[in-house]
Amino acid sequence: PDGYVVTNDHVVAGASSVTVKIGDGKTLPAKVIGTDASTDLALLKVSASGLTPLTLGNSDDVQVGDPADAIGNPYGLDRTLTTGVISALQRQISSLNGYTIDNVLQTDAAINPGNSGGPLFNAQGQVIGINSQIETGGSSSDGSEGGNVGIGFAIPSNTVKTVVDQLMKTGKVAHAYLGVSTE
């Protein structure tokens, strides 16, 4: 309700200005409160009243086979919902700066370019992760990157909670506290 929005760091990195499209389609300017490239998370703030916040679930309660829904704007197609299940738990992915992000959720809900930074929901409508990366299956023979092969990754909501708490307080994240490493 205070206008805070969580997204991926790679979505806002290098931007000179940031806008957020809220549920009714209205676009609002956003201020970047803090970013953390090592967990690929960013905290933004918009000035708006009457916003209904999403509820963060407990990603430690997620089990393989649980329903998972992703929303976003893949390939510029606004307000898209894809459904699937949690395919695996405790995956590791590398952030763009080379840090390892632990306990990542794997889903077969379709995540494509444009879903990054959007929520991954459980069956109760709670956010259990922030959609971050996909497995592309490598490069094609013409040198272009491969497409989505049905494996997507989301930063777990418990990591989101820890990072957001620190970004709200200091605008930075203490990596030793998170257990994030460069190895």
> Which residues are catalytically annotated?
10, 40, 116
- At which residue do the structure tokens 């959609």 appear? 131
How far is it, in rounded angstroms, from Cα 154 to Cα 172? 21
Q: Which of 76, 12, 61 is nearest to 41 (CA)?
A: 12
The residue type of 92 is Q
Q: Which of 28, 29, 27, 4 is nearest to 16 (CA)?
A: 29
Secondary structure (3-state) at 107: strand
